[in-house]
Amino acid sequence: MKRILIVTGQSGSGKSSALQVLEDLGYYCIDNLPLALLPEIVAKLDSENNLEQLALGVDVRSTRADLQEFDLVFEQLQKHGSVDVIFLTTQDQQLIARFSSSRRPHPLSNRFNSLTECIEQEKTLLIPIQFRATIQIDTTDKSVHDLKHMLLSRLGQTDNLIVILQSFGYKHGIPLDADYIFDMRHLPNPHWELELRKYSGLDEPVQNFLEASSQTIEMFQDVYKFLEKWLPAFAEGHRHYITISIGCTGGQHRSVYIVDRLKKALEAKWSIQVLHREMKHWS
């Protein structure tokens, strides 16, 4: 995993909106997780998925003890990639106005008598996380559109199209998040070569086997030419990301090989993210 973002801050300051922006930018987002569970969940995601960008929403509903141990959690997460903490703040009067207009209770409303007291206590509880913040944004006078552009700027990203290349196995189900699906089950199957079964499409023996087939070369070229022609049109349509899913029977050999080749062919012009959905099933 290359990048982990922890998104937190005062309740009502725009954490949910920030996570929606990050999701549009191709981050895999999880919200409202207890702090103590983050290292275990991230370790599992890192071992079973080829995720490159992960965003974790955290708020004051974690226990006081967990919040005070944030430094330990932060250090454990660093084992899996670079970690940034995005901390959102808002002036008190604006927070009060937002809670009043939305009529939603503050997360600490069952522990304190007034909204003002909840806001003050939350600031204190979040201090251990705020000290670790690498990006702090005051959303007092900012719209969701403003927040998006600030996040893009602070994260060093642009609003360009992100191409997500996903390999999968049909026997595990068709991905529901795909914009386009290409079927590779007609290509020669390395699974039936016993010495190749233990490898994946990322390994040279499988690549050599597949590249010996003219069908493989022609199929790759057809998919590549389709994407080369139409990705600019998708980008001009102001899409944030597009998911191209490549499937074979088990999701270990043919689909993984094609995804790897597409990544190498497209990454010079496009922002590419790769997900091998069935990695946890590989031999």
Q: What is the mean pLDDT of residues 79-97?
A: 91
Same domain, 120 and 12: yes
Residue 123 and residue 9 share a domain: yes
What local confidence, expressed as pLDDT, does residue 158 receive?
63
Region of residue 272 (left: phi > 0; alpha: psi -120 to 50; beta: else): beta
| pLDDT value at residue 1 | 64
The two beta strands, 135-138 and 180-183, are unpaired
Q: What is the model's pTM? A: 0.59
Pair 134, 56 in one domain? yes
Report which of 96, 20, 93, 32 is spatially closest to residue 60, judged by C-alpha positions. 32
**15 annotated to bind ligand:** yes
Domain count, the chain: 2
Same domain, 146 and 7: yes
Model confidence at 214: pLDDT above 80: yes
> Is residue 202 predicted with pLDDT exceeding 80?
yes
Q: Can you give the pLDDT at residue 269?
A: 93
User: Among 27-31, 66-70, 102-106, 211-215, which range has the highest average pLDDT?
Assistant: 211-215
Q: Is 101 annotated as a binding residue?
A: no
CATH number, residue 20: 3.40.50.300
Query: Which residues form the domain of 91?
Result: 3-154
Same domain, yes or no: 197 and 129: no
Percentage of residues of the chain with pLDDT beyond 90:
61
Task: Judge whether 9 is annotated as a binding position.
Answer: yes
59 is in an annotated binding site: yes
Instruction: Note the pLDDT tens digit of each residue in 139-156.
Output: 987 888 888 878 876 776
215 appears as a binding residue in the annotation: no
Domain boundary among the residues 131, 154, 177 is at: 154
Is 84 within 8 Å of 136 (Cβ atoms)? no
Decide: 3 and 124 in contact? Cβ < 8 Å. no
Asked if residue 201 belongs to a known ligand binding site, the reply is no
- The response to whether 60 counts as a known ligand-binding position is yes
To the question of whether residue 271 is assigned a binding role by annotation, the answer is no
73 is in an annotated binding site: no
- Domain shared by 7 and 141, yes or no: yes
Q: What integer pLDDT is reported at residue 157 of this predicted model? A: 66
Sign of torsion over alpha carbons 264, 267, 17, 125: positive
148, 212: one domain: no
pLDDT tens-digit map of 14-63: 999 999 989 888 889 999 888 889 999 999 888 887 778 999 999 888 88
Residue 111, pLDDT above cutoff 80: yes
Tell me, yes or no, whether 35 and 149 share the same domain: yes
At a CB cut-off of 8 Å and minimum separation 6, what does 19 contact? Answer: 7, 29, 31, 55, 57
Q: What is the pLDDT of residue 63?
A: 81
Mean pLDDT calculated for residue range 203-207: 98
Q: Which two tokens stand for residue 196?
A: 């190749």
Label residue 236 exposed, middle or buried (CB < 10 Å: 0-12, 13-18, 19+).
exposed
Q: Between vectors from CA 78 to CA 74 and to CA 80, what angle results, nearest 5°?
A: 130
Summarised one tens digit per residue, pLDDT across range 67-79 is 889 999 999 999 9
The confidence score (pLDDT) of residue 280 equals 87
174 and 149 belong to one structural domain: no
What one-character DSSP code corresponds to residue 134? S
Q: Is 163 part of any known ligand binding site?
A: no
Assess whether 186 and 110 both reside in one domain. no
Domain boundary among 116, 137, 154: 154
**Whether residue 108 sits in one domain with residue 143:** yes
Determine contact, residues 86/18, Cβ cutoff 8 Å.
yes
Q: Mean pLDDT throughout 204-211? A: 98
* Boundary-marking domain end, from 120, 154, 188: 154
Q: How confident is the model at residue 180 (pLDDT cuts 50, 70, 90)?
A: very high
Kindly report the average pLDDT of the chain as a whole number.
90
Percent of the chain at pLDDT > 70 equals 97
